[in-house]
Amino acid sequence: MIINIIECDIPNVKAISSTGEDEGVHNIYIRKNMSFEDMRNEVKHELLHIINDDFHIDHHVNLIEHMVRRKELT
């Protein structure tokens, strides 16, 4: 598995994760100019999406976010 972390200007969100064209490649786009602690928390959150393979789950995005946030608390 390859995970690229890319700092960039993204509007309206702190971070986004996506799958790459090649199998096993994932990208985490994170808003630059965030504090180190905020970046770290956002990367951890996006890694949970990758580990859970949330990109292929047929549930509403709000439900997926709720499930990931519950896992962050444990």
Widest Cα–Cα separation across the chain: 33
Domain count, the chain: 1
Contact 43, 34 (CB under 8 A): no
Task: Find the domain containing 53 and state its range.
Answer: 2-73
Q: For the chain, 74 residues long, give each residue's pLDDT as a single digit of tens.
A: 899 999 999 888 888 888 877 888 899 999 999 999 999 998 998 888 888 777 766 666 666 676 666 776 56
pTM (two decimals): 0.71
Of 2, 45, 52, the C-alpha closest to 23 is 2
